[in-house]
Amino acid sequence: MLAGYATLRNSGSEAVSVIGIDSNAFESVEMHRTEEVDGVSRMRPVAAIEIPPGGEAVLEPGGLHLMLIQPRQPLAEGDTVILRLRLTDGRTVDAAFPVQRNAGEDPHAGHGHHHH
């Protein structure tokens, strides 16, 4: 499993929320938030990621992130995967994510390696 990190920007004048993510590159993509509870970090699915008008939502280790489940093909560092973000207003936005090893310290990020 891979974890996805990015900064999502909203240049519009109204808040938008990402309510789902599709990708041809993965069996499924989930949105998660890592929370620390009694010193143990756990991740929980979130239904939406809200981006304020003129603002951004940061997907980062230890916070909001994407779980990229079951790549349809092996991915290597330097590859780019396209994720299609579904927004509350019905729009979709394609975002390109570069594949990196060890993108962060999130305990779940460590599962993102593909061994050949």
Site stretch for Cu ion (CB under 5 A), options 37-45, 47-55, 80-88, 93-101: 37-45
**What one-letter code names the amino acid at 14?**
E
**β-strand pairing of 26-37 with 64-71:** antiparallel
CB of 32 to Cu ion, least distance (A): 3
Residues 6, 8, 59, 67: which binds Cu ion (CB under 5 A)?
67
CB of 111 to Cu ion, least distance (A): 9
Give the three-state DSSP class for 109. helix
d(CA 93, CA 85): 5
Q: For residue 66, state whether it binds Cu ion (rule: CB under 5 A).
A: no
Footprint of Cu ion on this chain (CB under 5 A)? 32, 43, 67, 108
